[in-house]
Structure 1
Amino acid sequence: MRLPPRHRSPVWALLCTFSWQELRRHPWRSLAAIMAVLLGVALAFSVHLINASALDEFSQAVRSVNGRADLELRAVRGGFDEALYPRVVQQGGTAEASPVLELNTLLLTAQAPAGVPLRLLGVDALRLAGVAPDLIPRPHAEADRLDMLRPGRVFLNAAAQALAPEATQVQVQTEAGPVPLQVAGTLAVTGPATAVMDIAAAQDLFDRVGQLSRIDVRLQAGVDHASYLAALKLPADVLAHEPADAGQQIDQLSRAYRVNLTVLALVALFTGAFLVFSVLSLSVARRTRQFALLGVLGLPPRERARLVLYESLLLGGLGSVLGLVAGTALAALALRWLGGDLGGGYFTGVAPSLRWSPAAALLYGGLGVAAALAGGWWPARAAAALPPAPSLKGLGDAPSTGQGGMAGLVLMAMAGLLALSPPWWGIPVAAYVSVAALLVGGIVLLPSLMAAIDGPVANALQRHLLPLLAVERARRMRGMASSAISGVVASLSLAVALTVMVSSFRTSVIEWLDRVLPAPLYVHLQGSQQASEVLTLPQDWLKKAAALPSVQSSSRLRVRALQLMPGRPKVTLIAKDQLDDSKGLPLQGRVLETPPGAIGLYVSEAMVDLYLARPGEDFGLLAKAFPHRDGDSTGPATRFFVKGIWRDYARQSGTVVMDRADYEALSGDAQVNDLALWPKAGVAESVVESELRALPSSQGGSSAPLALEVASSAEIRERSLKIFDRSFAVTYWLQAVAIGIGLFGVAASFSAQVLARRKEFGLLTHLGLTRRQILAVVAGEGLVWTCIGAMAGLLLGLAVAVLLVKVVNPQSFHWSMELHAPWARLLALCLATVAAGTVTAWLSGRAAVSRDAVSAVREDW
C-alpha cells in the first residue's frame, strides 16, 4: 500500500513533528551525537583555518620579498661568485636583473639582548624597481635620500620595527661580534623580521666580498625559460628556481604535519558517526511499534528509511553549524595566542590574521553532515526492513544491526592490502583509508566477538542467577549491545592508537638523543641555531678551548644548508670530526665500505625517500654542491658513495653526514658551528663551562669573551623533550576529546536503553527480584558490554597503532621508529571506560526501577 500524493504533505508534517518530539524526549542521546559532530567539525575547521592562514601569510611574505622575478638563480651551497651577474645582465632576453646577498642573523635589542632571528638582505637599490619593489628602501622624512647607498644604514620592515620600536640604532650579529647600524627608514616587506642594506656594505660587514646568494631575473616578454637557461649555461653549483618554488618548499615541508593534524582533528568526527549510529539504532529499536504502525498505515519502507535519515541530517546539520562557529572562534584565539604553527615550528616568526574561507566552511560542514548520514544509514535500513504486522503485535523487533561478519572480514582484508600501498602525492592516503577500514571492520565484527565471549561465560555462570541474567542479555541482544558500544569502541581504539604512537615516538626520540649526544658538553655561539651561516666559532678560540687542561678531547661540527633541487626544501649537510660508525649516529642496517677514490656519506631516511640516495650507490646530486675536488674545474667530478642510513628525528627534509676533513678539502670551508667536549676524569662540567666562558678570542680585533651557549647532553635532552611534548600538545588534547566523546556516548546509550526497559524491570520485580538485585543486573550488563568494548577497542587500537607507526609516520615524515606500548596507561584508559559504562548503567537503572512495579507493567495486563 502506498500513500496517494495528495496525502503525503500532511503526513510528512506529522512525521517531522514525530521525529522532533523524539529528539526532545531524549535530549541527552541527541546531545551526545550533536556534540561529537560539533567537536569534529570545530577541531578540523579550526586546524584548517590556522594552517591556511599561516601558509597564506608566509606565501605572501615570500612573494613580497621575491617580487616579480621570473627566475631566481640561487647557489646550491652558501653563495656563488658575483662574476655571474654581468653575464646575466648581458644575456639576451634579460629585462631586469637584481643581485641579492641574503643572510640569516640576529637583531640585538634592549628587550632581547640575546638576539632574535633577522633576515638581512643586501640589495642594489637602483635595480629593485622592476623586480622587487617591496624591497625598495623608504628613507625617513628627515634622512638623506642617498642613505640607501651608504654603509652602516639599515631599513626595517614592520615586524623588525616592532622588535625595536622608535630605535634610531640597532645592532646585528656578525662573525666579528655585534655591529651597530643606523635605522634610516622602512620597508614594505611583510612577514618575519626583515632588514635591507646596500649590497656592497653587507658584503663588507659579513665578510662576503665577491659573493651573492641569488640573482632575481625578469625576462623580456615571450622569452622561453628553458631556452634562456640553456643559453646562459649556469655553473654546476647554481640552480634556477621558479617564483613559486619558495612557497612550494614550505608547503611540502609542512604538508605532512598539516595533513596529520587535520586527520587527528577528524577523529572526533569519525567517532561522531558511530555515536549517531548508536543513537539512531537505539531509537529505531525503541520505536519498533511506532514504525510498524506507520507501515500498516501505508508508509512504504523507503519513506521510513528517509525519516531516520532526516533525523540524522538534523543531528549532523545542528552539529556542523555549531561546529563551524566554534571552529572559527578556536582558530581566532589560537592565532592570537599561539601563532600559526600549532607547535610544528614551520611558520616561526609569522603572525597571521584569520583568513575565513566559505569554501572550506562548506567542505567541513559537509563532512559533518556526511558523517551523521553515514551513521544513520544502517538504522535507516533497519527501519525500512521492519515487518509491520508482526512488529505491531510485539512479535517482531528491529532487525539486528549485528549481522555482517563477512563484511567485517572483507574490510579487515582491505585494510591489510591498503596498508601495503605507497603514498599518494606524498601523503599516506591509502594508509588513512586502511585505518578507517580497520576500525569499521572491527566494529562490524563486534556481535561475533560478543557471541564468542558471552557463550562460554554464560555456561560457566549457570548456577549464578544475577550474573547469568546480565551475560545472557548481552548475548541475546548483541546487535543492540554492539550499537550501544560502537561509539566508545571507535573512540577508545583511536585513543589507544594515539597513545601508542606518541609513546613509541617519544621513546624512540629518547634513545636517538642518547646516540646523537655522546659528549657531556656542547658549545656554540648564542643564536647560531638560527644563523648558522653567519655565526661560527673563531678558529683561535677553538684551539684554545681544545687545549684547556680540563678538557680531554673535542670534536668539531659544521652545519650547512644545501639546495639540491628547485622546489624542494633544503637538505642539511653535517660535516663531523672523525666520523665513527660506532657512536654519534643511530645507523639502520649494515655499513658498507667506501670504494677507493670516493667520499663516504651517511644519509638520513628522508634522503632515501626524497632523493633516492640508496646505500651502495653513488649520490650524484651532491656533486652540484662540490663540482670538483680542490677547486680544480678541469678535474673529474667528485664521487660520493652512500655507505649507510641513519635515523634523524631533527630534520624532516633530509640530512647528509660526511667527515669534516673531506668537507674542508672539497669546499675550503674550515668554519665550525658546534664544539663537543669530553672533560677529563674527575673534572666537573661546571668547571669546564666557567673556563670556556672566560676564554677570550682575538677575532675582530677584540679580546672580549664570546657570547656562548654551553649545554650538557642532559640539558639538551630535557629541552628537546619539552619541544617534543609541545609539538604533540594538540595531539594529547585531541586524544582526550576522542575518549571523552566516547564515554559521553556510552553514558547516553546506556541511559536510553535502561530507561526504555521499565516494563522489563517491573516484571522482574513481580518475579521476586529486589531493587538492589535489579540494579546489580543492570550494572552487570554495563560491565559485560563495556568490558567487551574495552577489549575490542584495545585490540583495534593496537592494530591501528601498528599502521600509524610502521606506515603513516614513515610515509609522512620519512623516519621510522620502534613500537612501544605504555601498558599502564592503556590499562587505565580501558578501566576508565569500563568504570564509566558500569556506573552509568547503575545510575540509569536507579531511575528506571524507582517507579511502581504495577504501573510499569500495566500495558501488559
Structure 2
Amino acid sequence: MKGLLVRSSLRHLGRHPWLTALSLLGIALGVAVVVSIDLASGSALRAFERSTDAVAGRATHQLLGGSTGVPEAVYQALRVRPGAPVAAPVVEGYVQAAVGDKRTLTVLGVDPFAEGPFRDYARGEAVGNVSALLTEPGAVMLSARAARALGLSTGDTLPVRLEGLEKPLRVVGLLEPADEDTARALEALVLTDVSTAQELLGHTGRLTRVDLRLTGGDAQERAVAATLPQGLELVRAAARAGTVEQMTRAFRTNLTALSLLALVVGMFLIYNTMTFSVVQRRGLLGRLRAVGITRRELFALVLGEAAVLGAVGTVAGLLLGVLLARGLVELVTQTLNDLYFVVSVRRLALEPFTLFKGLALGLGATLLAALVPAWEAARSPPVTTMRRSTLEDVSRGRAPRLALLGLGVLAAGTVLLRWPTQALLPAYGGLFSVLLGAALLVPWATQTVSALAARPLGMAFGLLGRMAARGVHTSLSRTSVALAALMVAVATTVGVGLMVSSFRGTVVSWLDTSLQADVFISPPSLVARRGGATLLPGLAETLRATPGVAGSSTLRVANVRVDGVPTDLMAVDFSRTPVRPYTFKQGDAKTAWRELESSPDTILVSEPFGFHRGVELGDSVRLATDKGPRDFRVVGVYFDYGSDVGTLLMPRTTYEHWFDDRGISGVALYAAPGQDVDALVASVRERAGDTQALLVRANRSLRQASLDVFDRTFTITQVLRLLAIGVAFVGVLSALMALQLERAREFAVLRATGLTPEQLWGLVSLQTGLLGLLAGLFSVPLGVGLAYVLVHVINQRSFGWTLQLALTPQTLVQAVVLALVAAALAGLYPAWKMARAHPALALREE
C-alpha cells in the first residue's frame, strides 16, 4: 500500500511540472538568499580573523600603547629585565599595492631573531635572500600567492601607496608555507624588518605593539603589568577577535534578518503549493480514505511530498547560494572596508556549518509550511473531502477567526517591540509577529473587499467584472495565500525603501549641518569612514595660509581604547574659526564648548557611542592615553551618522595634553567673501605640490563622496529587496497557475456556454489585476508599519542612531504599481493557457 501511495504522489508531481518547478525555485531562492549572505559576510570576517591570527602568531598577550604605539625603549627595557617574558617587537600597518589588482597589503615588521616562539613563517619556509631583510633598505618578502597575483618575482620592485605617497619596496624572497590555511592567511602579507616597517609607515622609534608569551598564569600577567610605564596596557591576544565581532555584530545581524524575509515569503509559496496539491486530489484522497487508508498514512503522504520538494529545492538553493555569495562577498567586503576595518577577501570560504544551517532552514521551512495542508488532508472525513465546495466553505468560515488570531499576534508583536531593552532578538521577534499577524488578516480582508468590489467592477466591466470579483471571493483558500505572499514581499520593499530613504534624508541633513567649510583636504585612507592617515609635517600650516582663506580648522582622527574596545577619537582645532558644526542631542552647545576649552578633562561623545556604552551627559569615560588611563567627563552628546560604533571628540589642545601624537588628518578651509571656491581648490592643489597625493574637495564634492559611501553600504540591501520580490513573484505565479488550473472545469463550462477566448482572457486578467490591487493596498499600511519598526526600533537598537521617518508618496504609489505589475506579469501565462484550453478536454474527468 505504501508503494501505491508513493507512485500516486510521484505521478501527481509529474503531471504538474510547472508548479513543481516553481515550488522548487521558490524554495531554492529562499535558501539561496540566506546561505549567500551568511557565506559572504562569514568569508569576509574569517579572512580578517585568519590574517589577524597569522600576524598575532602564538602570542598570548600584547603590549599596546596610546595613539602613537609603544616606544622602542620599553621593549629594550623589558628584554633586559630579570625574569623577562618571551617577547617580540611588531610594527604593523596597511599599504595598497600600486601594481596588479591594487590589493590592500598588511605590512608586518618583525625582528627575525626574536620571532622563533611566535611565527614560524617569519624565520623560515621562505625562498630567496632572507638575510637581505636586515641589510638592504626597503627589502620585503611576499607570500608566493601574492607575488603571483601581482605579477612579481624575487628581485622585482613592489611600489606601494600609503597616505598619498608612493614608495618602492624590493622583493628579496617569497614565503611558501607548507599548510593551506597559513598560505591563505598570508595572501596579503608583506614581511619585513622592524626598521624598514618603521620607515615605511612613519613610525620611527615606535612599535605598534610587543607580542608576549606569558605561561605563568595570572600571577605573571600581574607582575608584567605592574612594571609597565604609564600609557601602556597589557591585553590578551584573543581580545582582538572579540572586538571585531562586537563591531560588526549589528551589521551582520541586520543582513541575516533581511535575508530571512525571503525565506518567509518562500514559505507562503510552499504552503500554497502543498495546499494546491491536496485540493487537486481531494477526490482521490477521499476515495483512498473510503477504502481504508488511515489518516496517519495520508498525513505522511503529504509531508513526504513536501520533504522531497524541500530536499531537492534546498540542495539547489545551496548551490545557488554559493554562486550568489561569490557576487555578494565583494559588496560585503566593500561595506566592511568603508565602515569598519581593512580586509581583503580573495576567495569564498565554504563553511560546513553554514551549509548545514541552510539545509535545516530549507527542509524545516518546507515541512512547517506543509503541516496545515497535511493536517487538512488527514482530518477531513471522506465524504467531506470528496465534495469540491468543502474547502472554500471552511476557508470562508475560518477567515474571521484567523483575523482575530492575527490581531492577537499583532498585539504580541507590539509588546515585543515596546519591550524596554537594547537586545535585537525581541525586536526581530516583534517584526516577524507583525508580518505574521498581517498575513492572518488577509483572508478576512480579501473576503470583505472582494465582495464590496463586485458592484464597481460590474459597473466598469459588466458581467466579467462581477465574475472576477466573485471568483476571488469564492476561491479564498487560493487567493488569500497568493495575496499574503505578494503583500509581505511588497510591504518589505516599502518598509526597507522608506527606511533607506529616511536614513538618507537624515544623513543629507546631517551633512548639510556638519560640512560647513568650503574646502576639505585629507590624504587618501584605506577605510573610507576613518581618516586616520596624516598630512606631511608642516603641510597643514602651509595650506591654511593659502590666499583667499578667511578661516580654517584641523582634524586628527586617532584610534584609542575605551574599556579595551578600539574607538575613533577626533581632535578638532577651531581656534581660527567660530564655526562649530555639531548638533547636540544632550547638553547645551555654548556651555559644552566653553567647558571643553577651559577643562582638559572633558569630552563629547557621539549618539551611537552613548547608546552602546550607556553613557549620558555628566557621565565619565575612561580613555587609555599616552599618560595612562584617564577619566573624562561627558559635557555633550552629539548627533553623528558616520560611525555606528561611536566616536569621541575633544579640542586639539586637550588631545595634545594627553597624547604625544602631533599628526593632522585633515584641514577644513572657509573661503573669504567673494572668493571663488573652485579657484581656491586649484590654489590649494598648487600650493600642496607633488610631495603628497591629497584629496582636495569642495563642499559639494565631499558631500557627494559621503553619499556615495552611504549608497554603497546599502547596495546589498537593495539586492536583497530584489531577491525577496523575485521569490514573491514566483509565489504569485505559482498561486495563479494553481488557481486557474483548479478552475479549469469551471472555465470549460463557461466556454461551452458561449464565453469566447478573448472574454476568458479578460476575466482572468481582471481577476489577476484585482489580486494585484488588493495586495498593493494591503502592503501600504504594513510597509509603513515595517518602516516605523526598522527606523525607530531596529536601527536604534542596532546602531544607536536617531532617524527621522520620511513618508514619501512616491514610495507608497510605487508599492501599488509594483504589486499590480507583478500580478499582471504573473497572470499572463495562466490567462493565455486558459484561453487556449479546449473545453472538451478540460471537462473530461481525470
Q: TM-score range by the shorter chain?
A: 0.7 to 0.9
What is the identity, as a one-letter code, of the residue corresponding to 1:515? T
Corresponding residue to 1:98 among 64, 84, 88: 88
Q: Do 1:284 and 1:379's aligned partners in 2 also have CA atoms closer than 8 Å?
A: yes
Cα 1:570–1:32 change in 2 (3 A) is same
Structure 1 SS opposite 2:467: helix
Aligned to 2:607: 605
In 2, Cα distance between the equivalents of 1:597 and 1:207? 32
Q: Do 1:273 and 1:372's aligned partners in 2 also have CA atoms closer than 8 Å?
A: yes
Cα 1:610–1:838 change in 2 (3 A) is closer
Deviates more, 1:324-333 or 1:292-301: 324-333
Aligned to 1:57: 47
Aligned to 2:556: 558
TM-score (normalised: structure 1): 0.86
1:396-415 to 2 correspondence within 5 Å? Answer: 396-397=390-391, 399-400=394-395, 402=399, 403-415=401-413
Q: Do 1:139 and 1:148's aligned partners in 2 also have CA atoms closer than 8 Å?
A: no
Structure 2 SS opposite 1:519: coil
**Post-superposition shift, 1:96?**
0.6
Deviations 1:167-198 (A, max 9, x none): 54556678997665554444568446444444
Residue 717 (structure 1) aligned with residue 703 (structure 2): yes
**Post-superposition shift, 1:534?**
6.1
In 2, Cα distance between the equivalents of 1:50 and 1:269? 17
Count of aligned positions: 822
Residue 430 (structure 1) aligned with residue 426 (structure 2): yes
Deviations 1:470-507 (A, max 9, x none): 32333344333212323222222222222222222222
Aligned to 1:453: 449
Aligned to 1:633: none
Q: Do 2:740 and 2:830's aligned partners in 1 also have CA atoms closer than 8 Å?
A: yes
Aligned to 1:701: none
In 2, Cα distance between the equivalents of 1:600 and 1:466? 75
1:350-429 to 2 correspondence within 5 Å? Answer: 350-392=344-386, 394=388, 396-397=390-391, 399-400=394-395, 402=399, 403-421=401-419, 428-429=424-425
Aligned to 2:63: 73
Corresponding residue to 1:820 among 799, 806, 809: 806
Q: Do 1:253 and 1:569's aligned partners in 2 also have CA atoms closer than 8 Å?
A: no
**Post-superposition shift, 1:675?**
0.9
Q: Do 1:554 and 1:678's aligned partners in 2 also have CA atoms closer than 8 Å?
A: yes
Cα 1:334–1:784 change in 2 (3 A) is closer
Residue 213 (structure 1) aligned with residue 208 (structure 2): yes
Aligned to 1:513: 511
Q: Do 2:139 and 2:196's aligned partners in 1 also have CA atoms closer than 8 Å?
A: no
Aligned to 1:124: 111
Q: Do 1:94 and 1:218's aligned partners in 2 also have CA atoms closer than 8 Å?
A: no
Residue 496 (structure 1) aligned with residue 488 (structure 2): no
Aligned to 1:307: 301
Q: Do 1:39 and 1:323's aligned partners in 2 also have CA atoms closer than 8 Å?
A: yes
**Post-superposition shift, 1:258?**
2.6
**Post-superposition shift, 1:154?**
2.8
In 2, Cα distance between the equivalents of 1:482 and 1:528? 51
Q: Do 1:137 and 1:185's aligned partners in 2 also have CA atoms closer than 8 Å?
A: no
What is the identity, as a one-letter code, of the residue corresponding to 2:720? L
In 2, Cα distance between the equivalents of 1:477 and 1:233? 80
Deviates more, 1:796-805 or 1:588-597: 588-597
In 2, Cα distance between the equivalents of 1:344 and 1:529? 9
**Post-superposition shift, 1:755?**
2.6
Q: Do 1:160 and 1:195's aligned partners in 2 also have CA atoms closer than 8 Å?
A: no
Q: Do 2:104 and 2:344's aligned partners in 1 also have CA atoms closer than 8 Å?
A: no
For structure 2, list consecutive stretches of 5 or more residues without a partner in the other structure: none
Aligned to 2:140: 155
Aligned to 1:700: none
In 2, Cα distance between the equivalents of 1:837 and 1:272? 16
Deviates more, 1:300-309 or 1:374-383: 300-309
Structure 1 SS opposite 2:820: helix
**Post-superposition shift, 1:56?**
2.5
Q: CA RMSD in A?
A: 3.5
**Post-superposition shift, 1:772?**
4.5
Corresponding residue to 1:791 among 762, 766, 777: 777
Cα 1:25–1:152 change in 2 (3 A) is same
Residue 656 (structure 1) aligned with residue 648 (structure 2): yes
Deviates more, 1:442-451 or 1:711-720: 711-720
Cα 1:851–1:206 change in 2 (3 A) is closer
Deviations 1:554-588 (A, max 9, x none): 1111111112233x344343434259997522433
Q: Do 1:153 and 1:184's aligned partners in 2 also have CA atoms closer than 8 Å?
A: no
Structure 1 SS opposite 2:333: coil
**Post-superposition shift, 1:710?**
0.9
Deviations 1:380-428 (A, max 9, x none): 222123231244355633632645223212211221122234678x7x2
Q: Do 1:524 and 1:537's aligned partners in 2 also have CA atoms closer than 8 Å?
A: no
Q: Do 1:68 and 1:132's aligned partners in 2 also have CA atoms closer than 8 Å?
A: yes
In 2, Cα distance between the equivalents of 1:857 and 1:131? 80
Structure 1 SS opposite 2:663: coil
Aligned to 1:625: 625
**Post-superposition shift, 1:23?**
1.8
For structure 1, list consecutive stretches of 5 or more residues without a partner in the other structure: 1-10, 629-636, 698-703
Cα 1:58–1:165 change in 2 (3 A) is same
Q: Do 2:758 and 2:835's aligned partners in 1 also have CA atoms closer than 8 Å?
A: no
Aligned to 1:575: 572
What is the identity, as a one-letter code, of the residue corresponding to 2:609? M
**Post-superposition shift, 1:289?**
1.9
Q: Do 1:343 and 1:729's aligned partners in 2 also have CA atoms closer than 8 Å?
A: no
Q: Do 1:408 and 1:441's aligned partners in 2 also have CA atoms closer than 8 Å?
A: yes
Cα 1:176–1:835 change in 2 (3 A) is closer
Aligned to 2:718: 732
Structure 2 SS opposite 1:563: strand
In 2, Cα distance between the equivalents of 1:588 and 1:407? 41
In 2, Cα distance between the equivalents of 1:36 and 1:765? 33
Cα 1:796–1:582 change in 2 (3 A) is farther
**Post-superposition shift, 1:226?**
7.2
Aligned to 1:478: 476
In 2, Cα distance between the equivalents of 1:137 and 1:394? 79
In 1, Cα distance between the equivalents of 2:472 and 2:703? 50
Identity of aligned residues (%): 27
Q: Do 2:525 and 2:533's aligned partners in 1 also have CA atoms closer than 8 Å?
A: no
Structure 2 SS opposite 1:22: helix
**Post-superposition shift, 1:208?**
4.6
Aligned to 1:760: 746
Q: Do 1:461 and 1:468's aligned partners in 2 also have CA atoms closer than 8 Å?
A: yes
Deviations 1:218-277 (A, max 9, x none): 124x43267535763544532222222222222332333233223333332221110011
Cα 1:257–1:57 change in 2 (3 A) is same
Aligned to 1:665: 657
Corresponding residue to 1:693 among 685, 689, 701: 685
Corresponding residue to 2:667 among 672, 675, 682: 675
In 2, Cα distance between the equivalents of 1:404 and 1:207? 68
Deviates more, 1:826-835 or 1:181-190: 181-190
1:220-231 to 2 correspondence within 5 Å? Answer: 220=215, 222-224=216-218, 228-229=222-223
Cα 1:295–1:80 change in 2 (3 A) is same
In 1, Cα distance between the equivalents of 2:97 and 2:344? 19
What is the identity, as a one-letter code, of the residue corresponding to 2:33? L
In 1, Cα distance between the equivalents of 2:822 and 2:128? 70
Deviates more, 1:435-444 or 1:751-760: 751-760
In 2, Cα distance between the equivalents of 1:174 and 1:37? 47
Cα 1:370–1:28 change in 2 (3 A) is same
**Post-superposition shift, 1:852?**
5.9
Cα 1:67–1:840 change in 2 (3 A) is closer
Deviates more, 1:60-69 or 1:641-650: 641-650
